[in-house]
Amino acid sequence: MGIRFTVLASGSTGNATVVATEEGKVLIDAGLSAKKLEQLLKEKGMSASELDAIVVTHEHADHIKGLGAIARKFDLPVYANEKTWEALDKHIGEIAEANRCTMQTGELREFGSLQVESFGISHDAAEPVGYCFYHQDQKLSVATDLGYMSSKVADQVRDSDVLVLESNHDIEMLRMGRYPWNIKRRILSDVGHLSNEAAGEALLDVMSERTKRVYLAHLSRDHNLMDLARLTVNNILEERLAPDDYRAKLMDTYYDRATEWDRIDED
């Protein structure tokens, strides 16, 4: 069996994704309560006790809400870079010293047969990262909470078999929305979030014939709709790609339920 994964939840109310092979299982972020994480894992036929590690992208609450509780309950190692650990400490409570694991940005770690590599991204956090997962010749990349798609991030995620990519907001919905202007300005900035349009533009650069599926992730409940995100990204691809150019299938994620298990070796 190759890499399989499920996005347990995605959005401003909480983020968590499981990536697994037969010999390695990793949770990316724990942005829901420990109780909710346990429930979602159970629905997917897993227990948190099966996890080899939790890897953290950054310290914002929607990515770490249940981190301390679930790590303590199941005695799980937590991996983050030094600056993220410094920002995390006051939010997650006591973590056993043996489970406080430093994984510097750009480092590659192995959990059983699953290799995990972090890469730096642009977001208003201490030292935020995305992750690439490798098993044999398979590659899954997870890149959310991006202010913009830099050339370094594009190089990192290019030629993924499957990509989980932020498509946070529709620009006009955000501009007309109820948020104060300072928050809107932050979301639209280079350390904010990737819009639907920016996600589509990014895909033009990073998709290849190898890319089977793209999951549009971290959608705003106030300033986006799944149908709108998918339509906007698809329109950009259709307008800019030749008819015979390869297109990955666009997939949904949800704030209130998990996606189905996806196996990279399946078409």
Instruction: Answer yes or no: pTM beyond 0.85.
Output: yes
Q: What digits encode the pLDDT tens for the residues 9-55?
A: 999 999 999 999 999 999 999 999 999 999 999 999 999 999 999 99
The residue whose two tokens read 């429930």 is 39
Query: Residue 244 pLDDT more than 90?
Result: no
Query: Residue 179 pLDDT more than 80?
Result: yes
Assign 24 to helix, strand or coil.
strand
Q: Contact at 8 Å (CB) between 166 and 145?
A: yes
Predicted confidence at residue 126, as pLDDT, reads 96
Assign 153 to helix, strand or coil.
helix
Query: Residue 150 pLDDT more than 80?
Result: yes
Mean pLDDT of 72-89: 97
In this prediction, residue 266 has a pLDDT band, given cuts at 50, 70 and 90, of confident
Tokens describing residue 186: 């932050």
Please give the single-letter amino acid code of residue 213. R
Structural domain boundaries enclosing 66: 4-263
In this prediction, residue 265 has a pLDDT band, given cuts at 50, 70 and 90, of confident
Total number of domains in the chain: 1
CA distances from 242 to 237, 238, 247 (A): 9, 8, 10
Q: Contact at 8 Å (CB) between 12 and 257?
A: no
In this prediction, residue 8 has a pLDDT band, given cuts at 50, 70 and 90, of very high
Q: Contact at 8 Å (CB) between 255 and 10?
A: yes
Predicted confidence at residue 127, as pLDDT, reads 97
Q: Contact at 8 Å (CB) between 147 and 185?
A: no
Residues in CB range of 111: below 8 A, 6 or more apart:
24, 25, 26, 52, 53
Query: Residue 242 pLDDT more than 90?
Result: no
The residue whose two tokens read 């499981």 is 18
CATH number at residue 250: 3.60.15.10
Predicted confidence at residue 72, as pLDDT, reads 97
d(CA 198, CA 8): 24
Pairing relationship of beta strands 262-263 and 249-251 according to DSSP bridges: unpaired
d(CA 71, CA 185): 35
Residues in CB range of 3: below 8 A, 6 or more apart:
19, 20, 21, 114, 133, 135, 138, 140, 161, 263, 264, 265
Mean pLDDT of 148-169: 97
Q: What digits encode the pLDDT tens for the residues 109-141?
A: 999 999 999 999 999 999 999 999 999 999 999
Query: Residue 71 pLDDT more than 80?
Result: yes
d(CA 47, CA 198): 36
Report residue 68 CA to chain centroid gap: 19
d(CA 151, CA 140): 18
Phi first, then psi, for residue 55 (nearest 5°) are -110, 140
Please give the single-letter amino acid code of residue 101. C
